[in-house]
Structure 1
Amino acid sequence: MKIRISYGTAISMGLIHAKMLAKPITAYFMTYHEGRCRNNCAFCPQARESRADLKKLSRITWPVFELETVTEKVKTGGFARICLQTIDYPDLVSDVLTILETFQPLGLPVSVSITPVEEAVLKRFKELGVDYIGIGLDVASERLYPKIKDSLYSWEDMWRFTEESIEVFGKGKAFVHIIIGLGENDREVIETIQRVYDIGAEVSLFAFTPIKGTRLENLNPPPLERYRKIQIALYLIRKGITHLEDIKFREDGSLISFGVGKEKLREILKDEAFRTYGCPGCNRPYYNERPQREPYNFPFNPGKNYVLEVLDSLGLR
């Protein structure tokens, strides 16, 4: 059986010889399928109508290796967790179960990002060492969801699956993925973030990355300033410091204020607001950005003065 491995994970395992600027703490894998995904997400290289390279997911290359070889190499990589990404195809659940059964003797906790499956399947995942589920809602706007996702699963299907995942794995064990920069406005993003936390799930933010061969290949990535504002709002909601009803927006949906004064914001905001936030041990090095640029999500501590630098740049210090 074959499996895809993120380029950085393959380097950490010694399967590829190259340099890394930041080592992945989690081993990132993806199911292998000769064809494309059944869904047709406009941003995804794996999409049904995409012309992009199937080795790609976001800007990362995922080379193919034999599962048996990979399983042996995981032992020497010093990883804290395994994260299995999936694309949707007829034999997906069977393949995921085979992979989980193969990885189970390693004793590492496992996260699985997957399209909706039955509750019985989730319970079997749990028996095989899975403790977190990733849900690719991706589009933060119900208005835009059917246009961009073009998926077998509706907006409400994804929310039902999130709730089912929480029932099986527990509060805080379902991570809803949200991509910033798909045409949504700030109000839509923050309404969605609040809904996620209201039902007991968590949010993991991504920045839209244009990939050649996808339907959105000509769309620009989100401005870093806007992304930082949404990261701050997410951090404040996640920590229970503010709520959607406290946050103010303009008529066009753009964010005006966080419902927290500048002085308090300076006291309470930590650099973790700008680091990758996901399952324990997730740092996703340079998943959305090139190493030469300031990352949307830092895979490491950005430095003790970074919070003040961000607040200065946003006029919030």
Structure 2
Amino acid sequence: MEQIKQTEKRTSEVSLTSPDVVRISMAAAVELGLKPGTIQGCRCNCINLLQVYDEGCAANCSYCGLARERPGLADENTFIRVSWPIYPTELIAQKIAEVEARLGVGRVCVSQVHHRSNNADMLAIVRQIRKVAPVVPISGLVNATTMSEGVLRELKAAGADMVGFGLDAATPEIFEQARGRKARGPHNWERYWSMIRLARRLYGARHVNCHVIVGLGETDRDLVRLISDAVRDEIAVFLFSFNPEPGTVMQHVQAQPIWRHRRVQLVKHLIENHGLTESEIEFDDHGMISKLDVSDELIDRTIDEGIAFMTDGCPDRHGVMACNRPYGSYRPGEAFRDYPFMPKAADKADIHKQLKLEELQPMKVA
């Protein structure tokens, strides 16, 4: 640990620029032994890394802790409401190799920010990890605005078997408001979907995913349509829960109630695994789920299985979900929005209450 402290001190004295250094999620830092602590109920099965630059991210997403116009120095800002410490990439790669040899690493995910050298730097980071950990699965969470077909091909050749896109918004209108021109940002809905579909052709079915945040102003109907279209195209959708980040444009927007997140999780699982269609879902005047044409038995079984309410993420080499992101949608001590482990009996009882099933009346069948 003393050696790690010395490394942290040296890192703070040099330019904080990828590919030489990267941010790492706090849970992943604990998993690799870089930070003290424990994670409730599980390991952190995916090592989430994020590019870092002296000038920060050039995008300006209205909800993001890395937004260009958020007050504060770029290297001091939090991301998803928690600190992401910075370490030399060489040290991170070494620790990944050590944990892989001892316990196994489910997956590594390297995420881009909006920067002029982000593509070259992502390739360098992936290659450095692949050199010392030749069989650990690697994902790239890429920026569609700066991405190209050539780089997607290079990324695959470098060792990434999956790519994700932080779409975040469920509709073009919300995307424009939160990430595009209305947010003084560089991103474009059509560009994102063009790159998502290109990646789908290059990487194959279920090897491309979209991150979608629940709570940016969309309706449940919007989410159902997005998820249904993605299932049709064999593109994965991974849900995140909006939480207000201090200092951002959306800092005063309240997080959605947990019952809403639970219902979206339930319906997403039923669409993906049981063929639920939009015609079997009734929405209220605000576009929110109000009724389901689903048996009580199937709902009870889905709750009992628990998987629907776990974190969405890329799988490990055995096909088991690896990216469990402890504390990604909540802070220690807060209620789980998504479980980084299989929910236990008490958790399932909580989920049942949170769904408020008594308000989800079955649809009348003509």
TM class, shorter-length: over 0.9
Matched residue type, 1:279: C
Q: Deviations over 1:252-280 (max 9, x none)?
A: 20111233122332234530000001101
CA RMSD, aligned part only? 1.8
Aligned residue in 2 for 1:123? 153
Does the aligned pair in 1 maintain the 2:27–2:325 contact within 8 Å?
no
* Aligned equivalent of 2:257: 223
Any idea what SS the aligned residue of 2:23 has?
strand
Alpha-carbon distance in 2 for matches of 1:279, 1:20: 20
- What is the identity, as a one-letter code, of the residue corresponding to 2:111? Q
Counterpart residue identity of residue 65, structure 2: P
Contact between 2:302 and 2:308, CA under 8 Å: does it hold in 1?
no
Residue 138 of structure 1 corresponds to which residue in structure 2? 168
The structure carrying a bigger helix percent of its residues is 2
User: Which sits farther off after the overlay, 61-70 or 228-237?
Assistant: 61-70
Give the whole-Å Cα distance in 2 for the aligned partners of 1:190 and 1:36: 34
1:1-317 alignment, distance < 5 Å: 1-21=20-40, 22-51=42-71, 54=74, 55-77=77-99, 78-105=104-131, 106-107=133-134, 108-116=136-144, 117-150=147-180, 151-269=185-303, 270-280=305-315, 281-304=322-345, 306-307=347-348, 309-316=350-357
Q: Are the counterparts in 1 of residues 262 and 354 from structure 2 also a CA contact under 8 Å?
A: no
Report what 2:3 is aligned to. Answer: none
Gapped regions of structure 1 (runs ≥ 5)? none
Structure 1 match to 2:363:
none
Shift of 1:59: 1.9
* 1:77-116 CA distance string (max 9 Å, x none): 3422111122110000010111111111212111111111
Q: Write the letter of the residue equivalent to 2:64.
A: C
Q: In 2, distance between residues paired with 1:15 and 1:308?
A: 35
Which whole-Å CA distance do the structure 2 matches of 1:112 and 1:185 have between them?
29
Structure 2: stretches of 5+ with no match in the other structure: 1-19, 316-321, 359-366
Normalised to the residue count of structure 1, the TM-score between the two structures is 0.94
| Partner secondary structure for residue 239 of structure 1 | helix
Q: Secondary structure at the match of 1:298?
A: coil
Identity %: 27
2:190 match: secondary structure: helix
- Give the Cα–Cα distance (whole angstroms) in 2 for the partners of residues 80 and 268 of structure 1: 25
Q: Deviations over 1:36-81 (max 9, x none)?
A: 2221110111111112564422123111111111111112234221
Do the aligned residues in 2 keep the contact of 1:242 with 1:258 (CA within 8 Å)? no
Which position in structure 1 is the counterpart of 2:10?
Answer: none
Q: Given the superposition, is the C-alpha separation of residues 315 and 81 from structure 1 closer, same or farther in structure 2, using an over 3 Å criterion?
A: closer
Structure 2 counterpart of 1:274, one-letter code: F
Q: Highest Rg: 1 or 2? A: 2
The Cα shift of 1:206 comes to: 0.4
Report the Cα offset of residue 313 of structure 1: 4.3
**What letter matches 2:186 in structure 1?**
L
Match for 1:127: what amino acid? A
For the 8 Å contact 1:71–1:102, the answer to whether it is kept is: yes
What is the CA-CA distance between 1:248 and the residue it aligns to?
A: 1.0
Q: Which moved more, 1:265-274 or 1:56-65?
A: 265-274
1:271, 1:304 within 8 Å by CA — same for their partners in 2?
A: no
8 Å contact from structure 1 (residues 52, 211) kept in 2: no
Asked whether the equivalents of residues 172 and 189 of structure 2 are also in contact (C-alpha less than 8 Å), the reply is yes
